């Protein structure tokens, strides 16, 4: 018997009424959590924006040894110190301070504003290190495959006069400070913050209403937030794998470890470019490690495929299409999709016009 949602559920049989109420309750609970997630994601972007302004003020105050409060004076300072523009040291210092400050404030909001129990996100259990080590080669293999596909796409689009924007993490200044802050941000801060937000908070809020949905939506958010095609595609596949590991382990500790290992390995070629001697040796070491990871990654995928594939959405009474619609199309999430979509489109337009 079909359920008439437009009519009075009390007129239906007991089973139909219970199903109707269960779906209605699940929908409202999912919408609430999805709205919480949208608000937190928007809050994080606002915190980054505000923290960025604060950083500029504090930096100029320290550099000049005097209190500067006019934005025009801040702007004039950076115009007169053009060497800071594009400096790896300055950019990584900026990113480190701003992201850490924004992240701390966001987690305070999540904990005390939305009553999210962070212990459920950072759950420590025996064997998490082993899980990270075993899964890391598979993650590397998938990253390589998607990078090859993106490389082919870049070549095709480039041959037709279309420039696809990409991120540049190479060193602009070969200094100890640049090396330190890039490693600090890329290897420590970014993995912890990104896993905490895009796997931890996102999956924690959505998982009760569908594990598979939580993994897919968190991966989509993680991919698109990078703001360019290459990182979006890589980020989405990376997010699917990391989200699956998070759900299976019921913690982001293994994914933080994998993310740290992934970013550490990715830093090696950039380091080889700036060292005065031994760059070729570092490249050889990198290639040897990469080949080893790819071989083991292939074995891991074949051996553990059934254990790492996307989870099923069990114990969900709301239809799949309705759950995705509810999670994605509430006001805060729509605002967030517009925000990251604007950045994505703007980066493409700026690179071509």
Does 60 reside within a domain? yes
Does 15 reside within a domain? no
Work out how many domains the chain is built from and give that number. Answer: 1
pLDDT band at 173; cut points 50, 70, 90: low
Helix axes 331-352, 320-328, angle to 10 degrees: 70
The predicted structure's pLDDT at residue 1: 41
pLDDT band at 210; cut points 50, 70, 90: very high
Does 17 reside within a domain? no
Mean pLDDT computed over 26-32: 96
Does 237 reside within a domain? yes
- Is it the case that residue 71 has pLDDT exceeding 50? yes
Does 268 reside within a domain? yes
Domain of 294 in residue numbering reads as 24-352
Does 282 reside within a domain? yes
The predicted structure's pLDDT at residue 116: 93
Cα end-to-end distance, the chain, whole Å: 58
The predicted structure's pLDDT at residue 164: 64
Which of 8-12, 152-156, 169-173 is most confident? 152-156
Contact in structure between 262 and 143 (CB atoms under 8 Å):
yes
Does 12 reside within a domain? no
Does 11 reside within a domain? no
pLDDT band at 204; cut points 50, 70, 90: very high
Q: Write out pLDDT tens, residues 212-249.
A: 999 999 999 999 988 777 788 888 989 999 999 999 88
Mean pLDDT computed over 22-34: 95
* CB atoms inside a 10 Å sphere around CB 127: 10
The predicted structure's pLDDT at residue 174: 67
pLDDT band at 305; cut points 50, 70, 90: low
Contact in structure between 206 and 218 (CB atoms under 8 Å):
yes
pLDDT band at 165; cut points 50, 70, 90: low
The predicted structure's pLDDT at residue 151: 78
pLDDT band at 2; cut points 50, 70, 90: very low
């Amino acid at each position: 018997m079909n359920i008439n949602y437009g009519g009075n559920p009390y007129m239906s049989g007991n089973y139909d009424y219970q199903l109707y109420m269960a779906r209605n309750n699940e929908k409202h609970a999912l919408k609430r959590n999805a709205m919480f997630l949208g608000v937190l994601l928007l809050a994080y972007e606002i915190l980054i924006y505000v923290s960025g302004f604060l950083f500029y003020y504090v930096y100029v105050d320290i550099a000049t040894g005097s209190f500067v409060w006019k934005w025009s004076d801040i702007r004039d300072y950076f115009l007169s110190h053009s060497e800071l523009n594009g400096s790896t040291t300055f950019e990584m210092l900026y990113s480190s301070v701003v992201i850490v400050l924004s992240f701390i404030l966001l987690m305070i909001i999540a904990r005390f504003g939305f009553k999210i129990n962070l212990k459920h996100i950072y759950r420590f259990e025996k064997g998490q290190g082993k899980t990270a080590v075993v899964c890391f080669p598979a993650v590397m293999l998938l990253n390589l495959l998607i990078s090859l596909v993106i490389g082919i796409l870049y070549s095709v689009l480039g041959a037709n006069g279309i420039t696809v924007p990409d991120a540049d993490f190479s060193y602009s200044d070969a200094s100890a400070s640049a090396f330190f802050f890039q490693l600090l941000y890329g290897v420590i801060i970014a993995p912890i913050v990104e896993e905490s937000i895009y796997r931890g908070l996102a999956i924690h809020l959505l998982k009760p209403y569908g594990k598979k949905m939580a993994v897919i939506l968190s991966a989509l958010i993680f991919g698109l937030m990078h703001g360019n095609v290459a990182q979006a595609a890589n980020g989405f596949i990376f997010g699917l794998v990391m989200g699956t590991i998070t759900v299976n382990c019921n913690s982001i500790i293994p994914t933080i470890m994998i993310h740290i290992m992934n970013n550490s390995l990715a830093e090696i070629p950039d380091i080889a470019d700036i060292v005065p001697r031994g760059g070729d040796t570092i490249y050889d070491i990198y290639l040897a490690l990469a080949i080893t990871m790819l071989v083991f990654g292939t074995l891991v995928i074949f051996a553990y495929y059934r254990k790492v594939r996307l989870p099923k959405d069990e114990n969900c009474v709301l239809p799949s299409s309705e759950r995705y619609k509810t999670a994605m199309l509430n006001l805060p999430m729509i605002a967030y999709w517009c925000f990251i979509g604007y950045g994505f489109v703007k980066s493409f337009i700026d690179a071509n016009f």
